[in-house]
A and B are shown apart, each in its own frame.
Chain A
Amino acid sequence: MEFLFNLISGISLGSIYAIIALGYTMVYGIAKMLNFAHGDVIMVGAYICFFATTRYGLNPLLGVLLSMVVCTMLGIIIERLAYKPLRQAPALAVLITAIGMSYFLQNSAQLLWSSSPKVFQSVVGKGSIKLFDGALSISFVTVVTILVCVIIMIALVTFVNKTRIGKSMRAVSEDKGAAQLMGINVNSTISLTFAIGSALAAIAGVLLCSAYPNLVPTTGAMPGIKAFTAAVFGGIGSIPGALIGGILLGIIEIFAKAYISTQLSDAIVFAVLIVVLLVKPTGLLGKKVSEKV
């Protein structure tokens, strides 16, 4: 029973990683950059929802929506102001800018909202589901997180594979020049990608803080890094890879905590990543980098 409990907890934590990892992987796929500020957008999302619901008594669902809207705009603004001017710059300059943006968001949050922790009220409610005559008790948050992840995945895969705009995103990710020759606006495609990733980050932030209610300006940092790890683990650029990478990472983390060591759990997570990358450098579902002919 304990095993099953840990497994479900792992899948749920992994679902949060997966939702965050989608933002990393989509932005990487389209803009070919690692947006290290993505984790901090999660934190902003959680704060917006916190203030909307706890301080101003907004309905939780509206709080989540508001948080999505704010993060979407934030993502678009970050890309416009910080990354777009560096489109032609070396990858290292972009990476340093992204790390700078990450600290900028954390420090701004500290300035605006102080570093004293906020106690986040779960948007899902406190109850739990009891199974096997009460032997297994799973909180609503855990269940809702998994469900939300499934819904997001289905929606996103459908969008990318079936819609006109989704196809144009895949075209941009494969060959920007050829995409422009089709009449696709690469700049607005990149904006759209940041918008989607950031809206998902808001959802992830709310789910994360619903499960772990301690909200501080650095709340997004560690989940951000883990989700980035998950994206690389699954194969960066791949949407199903983000899902698999995220879920596996969540399971490994929870099992390591439960059966090996709480202190070492993060080290174990990263050790697994290193082993996977040694065996398969492109990640589990990563594509070979195709040679241009």
Chain B
Amino acid sequence: MVNALAWMKEEDPPSNPAKNRRGPMVEIRDLSVYYGDTQALHGVTMDIPDRQVTALIGPSGCGKSTLLRSLNRMNDITSNANTTGEILIQGQRILDPDTDVANLRKRVGMVFQKPNPFPKSIYDNVAFGPRVHGIRDKPALARVVEASLRRAALWNEVKDRLTDSAMTLSGGQQQRLCIARALAVGPDILLMDEPTSALDPAATFRIESLMDELRGDYTIVIVTHNMQQAARVSSLTGFLYEGRLIEFGDTKTIFTTPKESRTEDYITGRFG
């Protein structure tokens, strides 16, 4: 906390180019996260714009996942995690103790690094979330499942085998299934933590094109170690280093004329 404030005074706060766009979907204010005694995030402040792809980059251990998992309160399940600061999603303070976490996670979906479909049928994977949130009506469920699979560009590949186990799908298909599963509860925001790092180039390409299609309707935040990917898919990029948001701005600017030397060093592969 003290450290974070000292740093804020020493240097310029990260720029917030999101302000002049559609208006922020997520406002992060002075967010610090601690795991026991170690501090993983130091006073991060950033605005994530509505219906754009925002990329988070930075070397391993710099706190990208921690930042992402703060947005749907997944850090809650880490017993020694502690959070200070403020996160507003559509103006609502989600770190308040009386936040309905189930409802928050319905609005903020998550896709993980390794495809993790449930060992259930393809249909049941997608229907899981809607069922959890109380949809019992069979035709309604079937509609949601189909729409979500279509949205995730998987429908044509699986429409004849919905009752097969999800484990029979390829890695890339599994990851698109996980995206469909997340979309099925109707989120506004999609958090993706290195969603293609376990996939081959062809499957990666499909996920990236999918993100391109989804960006008009969803606010997407993606963590990636792949600079080309960040450059390809995102309109904004944040560079995190040792728990601090070093620089945040238009992806093009970050990749061509970064203000900070550390950003440049990282992007050009001099460390990390």
Are both chains from one complex?
no
The chain A residues found within 8 Å of chain B, CB to CB, are none
The chain B residues found within 8 Å of chain A, CB to CB, are none
